[in-house]
């Protein structure tokens, strides 16, 4: 699924755009525990959804080579986080959808979890 | 030219700068053309170790040596040490304070995550003196010999 279609599907606000919003997103994970994200989802995730809002979320995405971060439940990252994501080339989206709904919408549209 | 030797300070309790050392190493490995899967394994392992030093040990330092076929990462701290390494290696066991949990850590996955991503892990710990973690990650294909990263 194209990233720009994910934005539409989630009715998301784009806080940091990707270089190519047409890039294909095939695999995603959802986590509020960063260690869990790294333990159980550390393969080929292109997108990570989270309700956790702090600088370490951006760092975790950086270490895991996550291309797109989606903040759910209307959470808003602060300017420092946005600046770091920008510097690391990580696209940042924000949706008012809760985690379950956001993941469900993406899954229904064909985005897979790890190992699928 | 390889080997490349990098050193980074790790500031204790500073969740703002936590991860900068791992980020610096990741950047260096990528610049040297190391295969991305090895870069990711090394980055995740070092990041967990760095976070542990920030949370539990009042900081420390990271010593990284990059060779053509591997990276060796030593995270050394002068914290309280680990009284029971076997227990600390169990998934879910944690002594992390609330501040760490608020950051998304402290779920007892740190050391197991390091072990999972490392080809070799050595834990040298002394109660009351500190801990040194040596993480070795081998590359699937040799890194091209390249000039060292910019300082």
Q: Which of A32, A55, A59 sits opposite B47 (nearest CB)?
A: A59
Report the C-alpha dihedral over residues A62, A84, A23, B31, rounded to 10 degrees. -50
Q: What is the pLDDT of residues A19-52, one digit of tens each?
A: 999 999 999 999 998 988 888 755 676 999 999 9
Q: What is the CATH number of the domain that holds B119?
A: 3.30.565.10
Inspect the interface and report whether the beta carbons of A34 and B110 lie closer than 8 Å.
no
With CA atoms as reference, report the closest residue to A90 among A113, A111, A49, A61.
A61
Whether the link from the prior residue into B7 is cis, omega within 30° of 0, is: no
- Residue where the block lists tokens 């993941």: A103
H or E segment and range at residue B29: helix B20-31
Task: Compute the nearest-CA separation of A39 from chain B (Å).
Answer: 6
Structure tokens at A89: 């080339």
Backbone angles phi, psi at B10, to 5 degrees: -125, 120
Inspect the interface and report whether the beta carbons of B104 and A39 lie closer than 8 Å.
no
A contacts of B16 (beta carbons < 8 Å): 55, 80
Q: Over chain A, what is the mean pLDDT?
A: 93
Q: For residue B151, tell me if it sits in a domain.
A: no
Q: For residue B86, tell me if it sits in a domain.
A: yes
Structural domain count of chain B: 1
Q: For residue B109, tell me if it sits in a domain.
A: yes
Q: For residue B42, tell me if it sits in a domain.
A: yes
Inspect the interface and report whether the beta carbons of A63 and B36 lie closer than 8 Å.
no
End-to-end CA distance of chain A: 15
Q: For residue B94, tell me if it sits in a domain.
A: yes
pLDDT band at A116 (very low <50, low <70, confident <90, very high): very low
Q: What is the full per-residue pLDDT of chain B (151 aa) written as tens digits?
A: 789 999 999 999 888 899 999 999 999 999 999 999 999 999 999 999 999 999 888 899 999 999 999 999 999 998 999 888 888 888 877 888 887 887 788 777 889 999 999 999 999 999 999 999 999 999 987 676 655 444 3
Task: Compute the nearest-CA separation of A83 from chain B (Å).
Answer: 13
Inspect the interface and report whether the beta carbons of A34 and B44 lie closer than 8 Å.
no
Q: Which of B23, B108, B110 sits opposite A59 (nearest CB)?
A: B23
What's the length of chain A? 116
Please report the sign of the dihedral spanned by the C-alpha atoms of residue A14, residue A16, residue A19, residue A25.
negative
Inspect the interface and report whether the beta carbons of B116 and A39 lie closer than 8 Å.
yes
Q: Over chain B, what is the mean pLDDT?
A: 89
Collect all residues from B whose CB is shorter than 8 A from any CB in A: 15-16, 18-19, 22-23, 26, 36, 40, 43-44, 47-48, 51, 91, 102-110, 112-113, 116-117
Q: Which residues constitute the domain of residue B33?
A: 4-138
With CA atoms as reference, report the closest residue to B5 among B63, B44, B60.
B63
- Residue where the block lists tokens 């700068």: B17
B contacts of A35 (beta carbons < 8 Å): 48, 104-110, 113
Q: What is the pLDDT of residues B104-114, one digit of tens each?
A: 887 778 899 99
Q: What is the pLDDT of residues A58-81, one digit of tens each?
A: 999 999 999 999 999 999 999 999
Q: For residue B149, tell me if it sits in a domain.
A: no
Inspect the interface and report whether the beta carbons of A62 and B26 lie closer than 8 Å.
yes
pLDDT in the model for residue A40? 72
- CATH entry, A3-108, from 3.40.50.300, 1.20.1250.20, 3.40.1390.20, 3.60.10.10: 3.40.1390.20
Domain regions of chain A by residue span: 3-108
């Amino acid at each position: 699924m194209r990233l720009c279609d994910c934005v539409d599907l989630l009715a998301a606000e784009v806080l940091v755009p990707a270089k190519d919003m047409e890039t294909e997103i095939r695999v995603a994970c959802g986590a509020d525990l960063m260690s869990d994200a790294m333990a159980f989802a550390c393969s080929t995730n292109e997108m990570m959804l989270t309700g956790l809002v702090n600088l370490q979320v951006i760092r975790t995405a950086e270490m895991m080579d996550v291309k797109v971060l989606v903040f759910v439940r209307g959470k808003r990252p602060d300017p420092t986080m946005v600046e770091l994501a920008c510097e690391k080339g990580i696209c940042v989206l924000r949706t008012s959808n809760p985690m379950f709904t956001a993941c469900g919408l993406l899954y229904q549209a064909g985005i897979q979890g790890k190992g699928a | 030219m390889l080997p490349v030797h990098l050193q980074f300070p790790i500031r204790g309790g500073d969740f703002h700068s936590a991860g900068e050392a791992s980020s610096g190493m990741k950047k260096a490995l990528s610049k040297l053309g190391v295969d991305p899967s090895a870069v990711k394994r090394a980055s995740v392992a070092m990041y967990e170790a760095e976070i542990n030093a920030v949370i539990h040990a009042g900081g420390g330092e990271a010593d990284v040596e990059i060779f053509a076929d591997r990276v060796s990462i030593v995270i050394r701290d002068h914290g309280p040490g680990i009284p029971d390494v076997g227990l600390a290696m169990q998934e879910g066991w944690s002594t992390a304070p609330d501040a760490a949990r608020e950051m998304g850590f402290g779920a007892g996955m740190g050391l197991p995550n390091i072990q999972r991503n490392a080809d070799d892990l050595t834990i040298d710990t002394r109660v009351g003196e500190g801990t040194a973690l040596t993480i070795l990650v081998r590359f699937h294909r040799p890194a091209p010999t390249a000039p060292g990263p910019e300082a």
